[in-house]
Structure 1
Amino acid sequence: TQIARKIHELYDLYDGFVIAHGTDTMAYTASAISFALQNLNKPIVLTGSLVPLNEIGSDGRNNLIYACLTATLDIAEVCIVLSNHIIRGNRAKKFHESFSALFHSPNFPVLGELGRPIKLEDWRLKRRDRKLKYEPRFDSNISVLKLFPGFDPAIIDKVLARKAHGIILEGFGPGNVPSNIIMQIDKCSKRGIPLVLANQMEKGITNLTSYAVGFEAFEAGAISSKDMTTEACVAKLMWVLAQTRKLSEVKKLMESDLAGEMSI
C-alpha cells in the first residue's frame, strides 16, 4: 500500500518507476500494485537480487540496469525483471534459487527479453493515454488453505469462527475437493464468505466443470481462480474485499480480468 501511494504521489513526474525489492515476496507485491494502480500508461518494474550488491558475484547490478532499461520501454504494466526476462508481475512465481531461473510465468508468456536487439511481445500492455485508477485499500483478513489427503473439514469451521472475510482453498488437480468439503463450501456461501477454489499445480487452470466433485463445489458457491497464481489470487481477494463484501460482487470481480492477472 505504501509503495502504491508513493507511486501515485509521483505518477505524473516520471515516465516509469523501478522498485528494488526482496525476491521472496516480490510476486505478492507486484500483484498488489497491479490492483491498486490500474489502467497504467507507464511501466512499474520490480527487481532484486539473490546476492547482495556489496558482495562479489552479485546479480543486483545487472538486474538494476535491466530494470531501469525496461522502465524506458513501451510497456504500461507492473513487471518483474530479473536477468534479461520481462515478466508480467501478477503472473509471476518464484521458481528457483538460481540466477537464470529465479522467476517464471507458468500460465502466461514473458512480455519480452532484453538483449541485442530488445524483443518486446505484442501481448504486452502498451503506453497510451488512459486515466489511472487508484484504489490502494486491501483487506488482509483472509486465510489460504491447502487440501491434503486426510484434511479435516473442521479447519474451515475454525477459519469461519475467527471471522475471516474470505478463504482461498487449494484443491487437487484442476480444483477438485473431497465430498466432505462441499458442505463447508455451502456453509461459507450461506454466510456470505467468499471461498475461492484454486489448484496446487505449478502450471494449469482451475476448472470446476472437469469432474463431478469440482462441479459440486461450483454449485455450492465456490469461486474459480481460473489460471491465476496463488500470489495474484491472494492480492486480488484482499483488494476485492476492500471494495465490497457483497458475495455476488466479490464473485463477479474475482472471476473478471482486472489487470491481466487471468485469461478469460
Structure 2
Amino acid sequence: MNPSKKIFVLYTGGTIGMSQSSDGLRPDTALVGKALQPFSDGMAFDWHICAPLIDSSAVTLADWRAWLALLADKIPQYDGVLVLHGTDTLAYTANMLALALEGLDKPVVLTGAQWPYDAPGSDAPRNLATAVAAFELDWPQVVIAFDGKLFPAVGSSKVSTETAAGFDNLHFGCLAERQGESWAAVSVPTTRSAQPFGVHLPAADAAVVCHTLIPGCAVRQISDGLKHTDAQAVILQSYGHGNAPADAAFIEAVGAYVRRGGLVLNISQVPQGCAAAVYAQGSALRQAGVVNAGKCNLETATALLTLAVSAGWDAEILRGKLQSLGLV
C-alpha cells in the first residue's frame, strides 16, 4: 500500500460512531480518534466532522448540497475520499454522489455499520478495513464497502437490518470481495473518464415524490395526488415489468401531470425487477408519457430525478441518462 496516499474522511454520523444515551443510540465523535488508527501506517487521513452529526434517516437535500460542495473542493487535493454514513440512507447518498460527481478520477468509498464501533461483535472494524483496502484498487468511481465486499453505487440498496450483510446490488453484483489480505473476483476496469472533474449540485427546492402501487385504493389516491402535487418529478413503483392498472382516471391523471411538465419515472417494485415494454398491460402508462427506468432501483431513481429537476432535464435527456448508466 502506498504510504503517501492522502484520504479525505467525511464523517456524517450514523450507527458506526454512535454511543448509548437515555433515548437510545445517538451520533458521537468518539470514533474520530481511533477508528482509522489501525491503518495509519499505510495512509494519512484528514477528518471532516459534520456539525451536527446526524442519524442518516434525517438526511436532507441541504446535507447533500453541503457535502457535494465540500467534495468539489477536497477531491482534487486528495487521493481518495472515505464517507462514513448511517446505513438507512447510505445507498441514497452513494447514488447521489455517483451521479453528481462527473469526471471522477479517484475512488470515493462509503461505509457504515449495523452496530456501533465499540459494540461487542461489531461489523464496523471489518467494514472500515474493507473501505480502506478499496483505495488499493484506485478505482475512479463511487463504491459501497460493506461486509467484506465492494458494490457499485448505482443499483445498490440496503437489504438487511438484521445481519452484517446489509447491502447488495441485485442487478450489477459485487465488484470485489476481500479474502484475507487480498481481493478476489475483481471485475471493474480501471479506465478513467475523459470528462473534466465537476460537481452537479441538487437544487435546494428540488421536489421528487414516490408513489407505490398496491392492490386496492392506491390508484385513486395517486390519481388525486397527481392533480394537486407541486412535485416536479414522480417515481412510480409499479408491478413486475412496469405494469399498472389500466384505470382510465389514473392514466388520465398521469398524462395530465406529464403535460404540465412533470417527469414520471416508472420503476419496478421488485428488488431485481426491470421496468420495460414487455406486457401490453403497461402500454397505457407509456402512452401517457411515463419513462420506463429499466433496472433502476428506488435509490438510483431518487438521485437521478433530483438531479433531473435541478438541471431542467426533459424526458429525452432522462432516457439518455438511463442508457448511459446501463439501466435500460
Q: TM-score, normalised to structure 2's length?
A: 0.73
Contact 2:102 2:195 (8 Å CA) reproduced: no
Q: Does 1:45 align with 2:115?
A: no
Matched residue type, 1:29: T
Match of 2:165 in 1: 101
Structure 1 position 254, deviation (Å): 2.4
Task: Write the mapping of 1:56-205 to structure 2, written as runs, cut at 5 A.
Answer: 56-115=120-179, 116-119=181-184, 121-124=186-189, 126-127=191-192, 130-138=195-203, 139-150=205-216, 151-180=218-247, 181-205=250-274
Looking at structure 1, the residues matched to 294 and 73 of structure 2 have their Cα atoms a distance apart, in angstroms, of 33
Report which stretch shifted further, 116-125 or 86-95: 116-125
Q: Which residue of 2 aligns with 1:212?
A: 280
What code does the residue aligned with 1:237 have?
A: L
In the alignment, is the contact (CA less than 8 A) between 1:48 and 1:63 conserved in 2? yes
SS state at 1:240 partner: helix
Q: Which sits farther off after the overlay, 76-85 or 120-129?
A: 120-129
The alpha-carbon deviation at position 200 of structure 1 amounts to: 0.9
The size of the alignment, in residue pairs, is 259
Quote the residue 2:47 is aligned against: none
Write out per-residue CA displacement over residues 203-232 of structure 1, whole angstroms, 9 at most, x where no aligned residue.
Answer: 02101x211121221111011111011111
The answer to whether the 8 A contact 1:91-1:105 is kept is yes
Of Structure 1 and Structure 2, which has the larger fraction of its residues in strand?
Answer: 2
Structure 2, unmatched stretches of 5+, are: 1-64
Stretch of structure 1 that moved more, 19-28 or 190-199: 190-199
Q: Does residue 233 in structure 1 map to residue 301 in structure 2?
A: yes
| AA in 1 matched with 2:211 | L
Output the CA distance in 2 between the equivalents of 1:259 and 1:15: 30
Shift of 1:152: 3.5
Residue 28 (structure 1) aligned with residue 92 (structure 2): yes
Instruction: Supply the distance in 2 between the matched residues of 1:15 and 1:130 (Cα, whole angstroms).
Output: 18
Compare relative contact order (CA 8 Å, sep 6+) and give the higher one, 1 or 2.
1
Residue 153 of structure 1 aligns with an amino acid whose one-letter code is R
After TM superposition, the runs of 4+ consecutive aligned structure 1 residues lying more than 6 A away are none
Mark the runs of 5 or more structure 1 residues left unpaired by the alignment.
Answer: none
Q: Structure 1 residues 168, 263: closer, same or farther in 2, change over 3 A?
A: closer
Contact 2:223 2:253 in 1 (8 A): yes
* CA distance in 2 between partners of 1:92 and 1:125 (Å): 20
Match of 1:8 among 72, 81, 94: 72
The Cα offsets for residues 175-217 of structure 1, whole Å up to 9 and x where unpaired, read as: 111111222221112111111111110102101x211121221
Question: One-letter code of the match for 1:213?
Answer: Q
Distance 2:253 2:75 in 1: 44
Are the structure 2 counterparts of residues 83 and 210 from structure 1 closer, same or farther at C-alpha, using a change threshold of 3 Å? same
Rounded to whole Å, the distance in 1 between the matches of 2:184 and 2:224 is 50
Which amino acid letter does the alignment assign opposite residue 77 of structure 1? Q
Single out whichever of 104-113 and 136-145 deviates more from structure 2.
136-145
2:118 counterpart of 1:54? yes
User: Is this contact kept in 2: 1:44–1:77, CA < 8 A?
Assistant: yes
Describe the SS at the equivalent of 1:72: helix
Task: Specify the alignment match of 1:224 in structure 2.
Answer: 292
User: Normalization by structure 1: what TM-score?
Assistant: 0.90
Compared with structure 1, are the counterparts of its residues 54 and 46 closer, same or farther at alpha carbon in structure 2 (3 Å cutoff)?
same
Percent of aligned pairs with the same amino acid: 25
Tell me the residue number matched to 2:45. none
> Structure 1 stretch 229-238 or stretch 97-106: which is displaced more?
97-106
Amino acid of the structure 2 residue aligned with 1:229:
N
